[in-house]
Structure 1
């Protein structure tokens, strides 16, 4: 199977969220790890993308997120974790 494009991966994540009943920005912001882990078919890559989506949503940058022009992704990659 051909590799999904970045937009296809984002749309797949959004569909998983919609299917589990997460349909508002408030619900998206309220997702905790326990909620995320029970989403059917969720992957580690989906979880990473979900964190970026939450940050973009909080900054009112959903359109930038979907177009791939989000500055949040660069901020996320620049962070180091101990």
Structure 2
């Protein structure tokens, strides 16, 4: 409805979380379950695991040695 009325909705910036020492990426596996992987995407993993985090999600986590890698549009 907002679009019909001329409003636009800004998408939140998404980030990958990459461990600074190993270069591995954090992934969400399920209800408050996380794992790590040397890559952040392939067809199988993208369907079942999630690698992209919003700033709000990151703020609620203890990210420690993870760095934020911005997700580019279209990824």
TM-score exceeds 0.5: no
More strand by proportion, 1 or 2? 2
> TM-score, normalised to structure 2's length?
0.31
Name which one, 1 or 2, has greater alpha-carbon Rg: 2
Q: Which has the higher contact order (CA 8 A, sep 6+)?
A: 2
User: TM-score normalized by structure 1?
Assistant: 0.29
